[in-house]
Amino acid sequence: MVRTAKDIDARLYTILYKISDPEIPALSIIDLGIVQKVTLEGKHVEIDITPTYTGCPAMDSISMEIRYTLEQYGYSCLVNLVLDPAWTTDFISDVGLQKLKDYGVAPPLSTEKDKRVLYDGERLVPCPRCNSTNSKMISQFGSTACKSLFQCEDCMEPFDYFKCHK
């Protein structure tokens, strides 16, 4: 997985870091952990990316965005979708988790806690604004299928919770 500028050509890293998931504009595709491999030969780039959620329509637009952006910088580009390893929310970097929170989205909890929250209604999701876990689920689906809508009962703010995905 490509994580830091040391993993690939520095210029390519800077360009790729500017590309974000259309559903989570605050997170670059690097933070999201979907860029698995980048090969550069002359001006031709080959990139392996992992789809996030099966059927998430975001992937086509991410592939197009990568090709389009790299072409603007004078590269030709081939984007491959790689299904193995399958993406999980564990692929999101620590920087990415913090950015989600800053963006007002509660980052995914562990698989076990996630189940307790979504199926047993336990109050475990910290509000991204005031950190209170006195939050309740309003709807299984938030602004996108990857998220659930919550409301904090302390500061009363509604927020999205990024569901755990394995």
Residues that bind Zn ion in the complex, under the rule CB under 5 A: 127, 129-130, 132, 152, 154-155
Phi, psi at residue 165, to the nearest 5°? Answer: -135, 120
* H or E segment and range at residue 27: strand 24-28
Nearer to Zn ion, 64 or 156 (CB): 156
| Residue 129 C-beta: closest distance to Zn ion, Å | 5
Residue type present at position 140: Q
Say how far apart CA 80 and CA 164 lie, in whole Å: 25
Nearer to Zn ion, 36 or 134 (CB): 134
| Residue 156 C-beta: closest distance to Zn ion, Å | 7
Nearer to Zn ion, 19 or 152 (CB): 152
Is the separation of the CB atoms in 28 and 20 below 8 Å?
yes
CA 77 distance to own-chain centroid: 22
| Residue 127 C-beta: closest distance to Zn ion, Å | 3
Nearer to Zn ion, 36 or 132 (CB): 132
| Residue 128 C-beta: closest distance to Zn ion, Å | 8
Residue type present at position 121: G
